[in-house]
Amino acid sequence: MRNKKFILWFDELSNKDVPLVGGKNASLGEMYSFLKKDGINVPNGFALTAFAYDYFLEKAGIRDDIERILKGLDTHNMNNLSRKGHDVRETILAAHFPVEIEEELLAAYKKLGAGDVAVRSSATAEDLPDASFAGQQETFLNVQGEHEVLEATKKCIASLFTNRAISYREDKGFSHFDISLSVCVQKMVRSDLAGSGVMFTIDTDSGFEDAIIINAAFGLGEMVVQGKVEPDEYIVFDKTLQKDFKFKPIIGKNKGLKKIKMVYSREGVDPVREVPVSEDDRKKFVLNDNEILKLAYWGKLIEEHYKRPMDIEWAKDGQDGKLYILQARPETVQAIADQNILKEYILEKQGKVLTEGVAVGSRIGQGKAHIIKDVKDIGKFKKGEVLVTEITDPDWEPIMKIAAAIVTNSGGRTSHAAIVSRELGIPCLVGTQDATKVTKNGQEITICSAEGEIGRIYDGKLPFHIKKTNLKKLVQPKTKIMEIVADPTMAFDNAMIPNRGVGLLREELIFVNHIKVHPLALLNFNKIKDENVKDEINELVAGYKSKNDYFVDKLAEGVGRIAAAFYPEDVIVRTSDFKSNEYAQLLGGAQFEPHEENPMLGWRGASRYYSKEYRPAFDLECKALKKVREEMGLTNLKIMFPFVRTVDEAKKVLKICADNGLKRGVGGLEFYMMVEVPSNVILADKFAPLFDGFSIGSNDLTQLTLGLDRDSGLIADVGNERNQAVKDLLCQVIKIAKKNKTKIGICGQAPSDFPDLAKFLVGCGIDSISLNPDSVLKTTVLVEKYEKISR
């Protein structure tokens, strides 16, 4: 009978066998048996069954001893927990395997080819959708030799009673004897010679389901899992990811620091060791684009097979150059979250920033900082404090569950601290580098991971509130309520708000935060006079084929991430609309920008794009947008020009786009124009045939209609969008657009700030209103009410 076997091979197992071999082994068997035909590589191996575990406890006569030791257990008393956990483990390690188990285990090891193997635990309640036991037990890597395999197997069994595993089971309501342990023995992948990491088929922070997140570092994957390195992060949009890789939807690619790696050890007693990563390798991406896409496609296949979001470990073998899947388990946070309730954590005021890190969880927490540098000191930690440390591993979990927030110097978004904080529902910052230095024990701090990809530690307790919205009750009006989006790192979160697409994708933040370099500085690198600027640029572009590729790829990734988040709804990207003084702030920009007395009315928008000086830079911008549409398959992206003063300017810029392969109507490509200069309204009949839609930029239209400088506070009270002259122009251009069957919307906060203006625009027949994400819900309700009244 299968349930009375000591050994079961992967090809004998499936997901139905969790009671026999635990979640990890059952999942490995499922993939090995059913997904290899799809080209997914899974290293072979076998499972020492849960029956063998129970048989061992009975034959060795130690079950009663373990029950006796665990009497009087108090998981909230660290000393009590530590003492009892230690005694149980020592009891198991001192016991001998029955000879029949030992013989079958070694015979299977020999059949596997002997050599180096990974020995991992697989608890029978592990990897269930509502209880993530991942990481609770031990893993042993590069295990070689019969004696070593036996010892590693026994240590795996003992690790069912680590302090953190005991505490975790108590919290989840599992009896310690309702759970058995299976052990996985699997051929090692030589990722010590290449790289490895983890992959999620859902964005674990926002719950966005159409993204595949891959983290990668050099060497063995334990460094990523343990959070000891800041890994590379790659994001792939799975809706346009196909088997033939017709599209290459890599919408995010960030190099991690990757300072250390874990490799095989040939010295001493430890089978693995940590070594520094060379300076040259740190500047490289662990995976190339083809490998990223292949791995992401495997993730998509695994998710489709399991019919749920998955948490996957992978590795690349440095000897055969192949990718492998090491394990897969259900993602356990977002998969069970209520998607009908939108929770928004809103910081009410800013404060002094102590440091920044990678944000995890889109939440805010606060309390007294408690810096702990060694796990032996966790007994001093008090409920409601903020844990500040170098790194966490499963041994820290007894105090993580009582922390107000977690901050680590090391790690990335898939490190142990990040995974556990998501499950616990508390804010977390990882990879801060210096949190243990810039905070003091007992200092009141606020941890904010709700401001995008970058999270911050603020000095003191800052006021914040949580806004909850029941999305089931929201009714969409006829007028499209769209979003204004600027930050790609917030795109997945913003897309969760009910919307009809993006009416304004502002590129400027992508230039500032992701590209950072003036495009002319990249195109004219050899002409740059400042050697320090050259060094900074070389640091940024490391890992890219050329400086031009760097600009095109980074802009395409930023725009593509937003287009993917809202796919298949329209996303209208406005080409770069910096003023000359703002362009000059980009790295290397000062050398290539003129001084203008009034940049607001100077070299901006269309006149910049077709100028001899800037045209080569605009060509790069066009290539990036073409890449989003054609290489990533995101044809929901539309293009909009700002500050087009004359009809002739419109024609010139449209021609430049066509010369770069972006031709109106081809592949459904639409072009829009901002209506923000009075000439746009006066000549709307002339502009309309050239464009598919207009978008009113009410800020510029107001300042140019009333002769205001919107940067001057001295005359700020003179007028706003509700001025009659401005309203007359708004109504006039809406009527002309309707007559020409040209779509027309407005992008700006005015309809949200002034409800009467929103009512006025709806009455004029505007097609869409685009707003900052925090105003979308209230304006949706407002507009729906106006429409109902006017029916």
What are the two backbone dihedrals, phi and then psi, of residue 283, each rounded to the nearest 5 degrees? -80, -10
Residues in the chain: 791
For residues 132-150, one letter each, b for 16 or more C-beta atoms within 10 angstroms of the residue's C-beta and e for the rest, the string is bbbbbbbbbbbbeeeebbb
- The answer to whether 260 and 227 are in contact (CB under 8 A) is no
Closest CA to 507 of 557, 549, 548: 557
Choose, from 156, 370, 416, 428, the residue flagged as catalytic.
416
- 62 vs 90, 96, 158, 169, 338, CA distance in Å? 11, 10, 12, 20, 44
| Side-chain-facing half-sphere of 92: CA atoms under 13 Å | 28
* 671 residue type, one letter: F
Dihedral over Cα of 528, 533, 539, 543: its sign: negative
Q: Are 211 and 238 a contacting pair, CB within 8 Å?
A: yes
DSSP sequence for 380-445: G--TTPEEEES---GGGHHHHTT-SEEEESS--TTSHHHHHHHHHT--EEE--SSHHHHS-TT-EE
Closest CA to 504 of 763, 779, 693: 693
**Tokens in use for 503?**
């009416």
Distance CA 243, CA 225 (A): 29
Task: Choose, from 428, 448, 657, 747, the residue flagged as catalytic.
Answer: 747
Tokens at 131, concatenated: 């209880």
Alpha-carbon distance of 431 to 446, in angstroms, equals: 17
Nearest partner of 497 among 566, 399, 428, judged by Cα: 566
Which DSSP letter does residue 404 get? Answer: S
Question: Are the CB atoms for 149 and 157 separated by under 8 Å?
Answer: no
Question: Does 595 qualify as catalytic in the annotation?
Answer: no
**How crowded is residue 542: how many other Cβ atoms within 10 Å of its Cβ?**
14
The question of whether 184 is a catalytic residue gets the answer: no
768-771 and 480-485 strand pairing = parallel
Collect all residues with Cβ–Cβ distance below 8 Å to 693 and sequence separation of at least 6: 572, 638, 640, 670, 672, 673, 737, 742, 743, 744, 745, 767
CB 309 within 8 A of CB 213: no
The residue type at 405: A
CA torsion, points 551, 552, 553, 557, in degrees to nearest 10? 100
**Contact by Cβ (8 Å): 530, 598:** no
User: Could you count the other beta carbons within 10 Å of the beta carbon of residue 665?
Assistant: 9
Q: Return the H-helix or E-strand segment holding 118.
A: strand 117-123
Cα 269 from Cα 105, distance rounded (Å):
23
Report whether 647 contacts 683 (CB < 8 A): yes
Instruction: Answer whether 302's CB lies under 8 Å from 31's CB.
Output: yes
Residues 126, 128, 129: CA angle, nearest 5 degrees: 150
Cα–Cα distance measured from residue 325 to residue 679, given in angstroms and rounded to the nearest whole number: 60
Residue 393 and residue 373 in contact, taking contact as beta carbons nearer than 8 Å: no
User: Distance between CA atoms of 79 and 564, rounded to whole angstroms?
Assistant: 50
The string of DSSP codes covering 242-309 is -TT--S--EEEEE-----EEEEE--SSS-SEEEEEPPHHHHTS-SS-HHHHHHHHHHHHHHHHHHTS-
Give CA 337 to chain center in angstroms: 17
Contact between 628 and 558 under an 8 Å Cβ cutoff? The reply is no
Q: Is 210 helix (H, G, I), strand (E, B) or coil?
A: coil
Residues with catalytic annotation?
416, 747
